[in-house]
Amino acid sequence: MYGIIVGCGRLGSTLALFLSGEGHDVVVIDKDPASFRRLGSGFNGRTITGTGIDEDVLRRAGIEKADFVVLATSSDAVNLMAGQVARKIFGVKKVIARIFEPEKEEIYRDLEIEAISFTRVAVREIVDALELDGMVKKMSLGAGAADLVTFRAGPKIAGKTCADISIPRKIKIVSISRQEHTTIAEDGDVIKEGDFIAALVRVDARELARDIFGIPDGGGM
């Protein structure tokens, strides 16, 4: 694949080195030429001094043939503007932007730019590491039609099968994690107390799910 990364900070440089090492053609753009030192001697791609909102710079980077553009500067405003240039002017199909303010995610989505909030990613990782009891919402799917939730199985559902606690079109067990091993759930799988369960729960079935899973009010989600 051929891609352009705008911003050669810690994120941009690390991503560039990884993609280059995997055999992809990568061009890195940054307004500060000193930032390219982060790439070291192991980088096999190209570097261009300039900004991601400059059309001439992007043409020099080969944006007309780019499979993707990643916007990794430290400015939401720059990432948004550069994303619009890549999507609307050059028609790049895969444009991904780092964002610092999660509440702006919808703006990017309306512009057909995939936004990644590292604040939200970090929160999810911390929640996973804490292994909190209760039902924790991981993400919303289908414009809020359903949530992907995780929880630790308690005594109320221990010994039951996935089919026993699933309700068509409302609650569906997706996976079971047990002793560091995760499997895609089948209807006949028997749940053990202490298992970590991932389930799809329709938004209007949250309270029903808490009751079925044996999770008291206030137990997340």
Do 201 and 151 share a structural domain? Answer: yes
In a domain, 128, yes or no: no
Tally the domains of the chain: 2
Domain stops at, among 74, 93, 121: 121
Question: What is the arrangement of strands in the sheet containing 68-71, beginning at the earlier edge strand?
Answer: 46-49, 25-30, 2-6, 68-71, 94-99, 114-117
pLDDT tens, N- to C-terminus, the chain (221 residues): 999 999 999 899 999 999 998 899 999 999 999 999 999 888 999 999 999 999 999 999 999 999 999 999 999 999 999 999 999 999 999 999 998 887 788 889 889 999 888 766 665 665 565 555 566 666 555 545 778 888 889 999 999 999 999 998 899 998 888 876 788 888 999 999 989 888 888 888 889 999 999 987 655 55
Domain stops at, among 121, 145, 167: 121
In a domain, 15, yes or no: yes
- Domain CATH number, residue 161: 3.30.70.1450
Full domain range(s) for residue 166:
134-213
| 112 membership: H or E segment, kind and range | none
Do 100 and 143 share a structural domain? Answer: no
Closest-CA residue to 140 (of 120, 165, 164, 119) = 120
Do 97 and 138 share a structural domain? Answer: no
In a domain, 220, yes or no: no
Do 79 and 58 share a structural domain? Answer: yes
- Domain CATH number, residue 102: 3.40.50.720
Radius of gyration of the chain (CA): 22
Do 151 and 94 share a structural domain? Answer: no
| 5 membership: H or E segment, kind and range | strand 2-6
Q: What is the pLDDT of residue 129?
A: 58
pTM for this one?
0.61
Do 144 and 205 share a structural domain? Answer: yes
Do 151 and 105 share a structural domain? Answer: no
Do 116 and 7 share a structural domain? Answer: yes
Question: Which amino acid is it at 130?
Answer: L
Output DSSP code: residue 102.
G
The three-class DSSP label of residue 174 is strand
Q: What is the pLDDT of residue 171?
A: 92
In a domain, 35, yes or no: yes
Domain stops at, among 121, 155, 187: 121
Do 138 and 93 share a structural domain? Answer: no
In a domain, 219, yes or no: no
